[in-house]
A and B are shown apart, each in its own frame.
Chain A
Amino acid sequence: MDDYAIGVLTNIALFSFVALSAYLLLIAGEMSFGQQAFFGVGAYAGGILTALYGWPLPLAAFAAMALGAIAQLLVALPTLRLRGLYFAMATLAAAEMARILFELLHWRREIDGELAGPDGTQGFRGIRWIFEHGIEPLHYLGIVGALLALVLALFLMVERSKLGATLRGIGQDPELAAAVGIDVQRVKLGVAGAAGALAALGGVLYAHHNTYIEPRNFDIMLGVHSLAYALIGGLGTAFGPLLGVLLDIGVLESTRFFQGYRMIVFGGLVAVVLIYRPRGFLDERTVQWLRQRFT
């Protein structure tokens, strides 16, 4: 497999994490424009831990996920009772605040006579853990892919369980859910923590894949894209967001024909598909139909 293909596949996997993060919140009924902030938290935290303090990547990844969960909870707690556009705007405000904080973040340490670490708008170079430990691009793709597969497996388990039904119930009709005794606020907080951890995991993996991150990587474009991936791919299954990412990056990237027109084509595709399938290709009805056909 050539380097380009490995790079594209790795990026597909990395963006799937943040798309799944947006998807999780969507099925619980909340539209977040801000998941890119937690992707960023994971990236910066993971990068700082491995590049400046010599932590091994797996440990740094766990820490990054924990920080991502905490960060998302910090946003979710004050905004629990907000709905619809109000919640979306609050997440947008929080995400932009995070991005500005990244711009103000200077955390420099001297490593072997050179200053390393995040330097505000100049970014954070030298996240070299992968290279220092001789991990080939193909191996890294394997690691990222395996983690994504694990996450998908978890999602599929949850979807079939009572928790999954609860989540979708809250998403469709929170008043009804509360009426039957579900603690809506607590479930939403749990979802928020999970979504934050998920986005952060994608972030730490992204930072090490790229060796360089900067605040502009985590702007609103990323956030709204992940929302779009989740919605066009379909809200019926965790494979939906994956499909959305594949559609955008995979198909349109690899077809030279679309070079330069990719966003025009993808944007048009999203708008048109949503007219006929407002909940995406793999929406709940389609998934139901597929399950019935194949079981």
Chain B
Amino acid sequence: MAKTALYLILLALPLLAHAQTPEAELRCKASGEDFVFDCTITLRRGGQPLAGAEVSMSADMPSMPMAHSVRPAKAQPGTKPGEYKARLDLEMLGEWAVKLRLDGPVRDLLVLHYEFDSKGAKPSMGGHKMEHKKH
């Protein structure tokens, strides 16, 4: 009986997890130092701001992951609930896959694509290629 209950609970866990996948948004500003950005992370879960999480932020380039070393930076809680602040020290500009590792009440790993330029970061989509000019 207990085993069945345990089994059912274990089966239900994935469903719970999916229903409450956190979402994140990033706003970054160039800090003045080369390729260092001050970022504000906004976390939500099920429509509500997600406060009290331990957030650590790092980044990879989509092509050849682990080719660049971006040390994970622990984020500090920001002014509003669900907001966190951290510094991102990148090696170069361009498109990065920013990874947010969440610990605490929620454990997860979120990956967001942003294009970093000399001013800040914009969400990005898709890949870059040398294209033919169409006539």
- On whether A and B touch (CB less than 8 Å), the answer reads yes
Q: Among B62, B71, B108, which residue has its beta carbon within 8 angstroms of that of A128?
A: B108
Known A219-B63, A262-B69; judge A131-B109 contact (CB<8 A): yes
Question: Is B111 within 8 A of A210, CB to CB?
Answer: yes
Per-position 1/0 for A190-232, Cβ under 8 A of B: 0000000000000000000011101111010110010000000
Question: Is B91 within 8 A of A259, CB to CB?
Answer: yes
Total A-B Cβ pairs within 8 A: 79
Closest to B62 in A: A216
Closest to A111 in B: B18
Chain A interface residue number, banded? 35 or more
Kindly provide the distance from the CB of B63 to the nearest chain A CB, expressed in whole angstroms: 5
CB contacts (< 8 Å) of A126 on chain B: these are 21
B1 interface residue, CB < 8 Å from A? no
Bound: A222/B101 CA distance, A? 24
Question: Is B109 within 8 A of A54, CB to CB?
Answer: no
Question: Is B13 within 8 A of A132, CB to CB?
Answer: yes
- Looking at the complex, which of A3-11, A81-89, A163-171 is the stretch in contact with chain B? A3-11
B19 interface residue, CB < 8 Å from A? yes
Closest to B66 in A: A11
Per-position 1/0 for B41-80, Cβ under 8 A of A: 0000000000000001010001111111101100000000
Bound: A277/B85 CA distance, A? 48
Bound: A54/B15 CA distance, A? 10
A172 interface residue, CB < 8 Å from B? no
CB contacts (< 8 Å) of A54 on chain B: these are 14
A253 interface residue, CB < 8 Å from B? yes
CB contacts (< 8 Å) of B108 on chain A: these are 128, 131, 211
A97 interface residue, CB < 8 Å from B? no
CB contacts (< 8 Å) of A132 on chain B: these are 13-14, 17
Considering the complex, which residues of chain B in the window 90-135 have a beta carbon less than 8 Å from any beta carbon of chain A? 91-92, 97, 99, 101, 107-111, 125-127
Closest to B15 in A: A112
Kindly provide the distance from the CB of A111 to the nearest chain B CB, expressed in whole angstroms: 5
Bound: A171/B13 CA distance, A? 50
Question: Is B63 within 8 A of A221, CB to CB?
Answer: yes
Bound: A75/B126 CA distance, A? 28
CB contacts (< 8 Å) of B14 on chain A: these are 54, 132
Bound: A4/B127 CA distance, A? 27
Q: Show 19 A/B contacts (Cβ-Cβ < 8 Å), sorted by A.
A: A4-B71, A112-B15, A112-B19, A121-B126, A122-B125, A128-B18, A131-B107, A131-B109, A134-B107, A210-B99, A211-B111, A216-B63, A216-B127, A217-B63, A221-B63, A221-B64, A253-B69, A260-B92, A262-B69
Q: B residues near A, CB below 8 A? A: 13-15, 17-19, 21, 56, 58, 62-69, 71-72, 91-92, 97, 99, 101, 107-111, 125-127
Q: Which 5 A-B pairs have the closest CB atoms?
A: A212-B111, A221-B64, A216-B62, A112-B18, A11-B66
Instruction: Give 20 new A-B contacts, CB below 8 A, not counting A4-B58, A210-B99, A221-B64.
Output: A3-B56, A4-B71, A4-B72, A113-B19, A114-B18, A121-B127, A128-B17, A128-B18, A131-B109, A210-B65, A211-B108, A211-B110, A214-B62, A216-B62, A217-B65, A219-B63, A221-B63, A221-B67, A259-B91, A263-B67
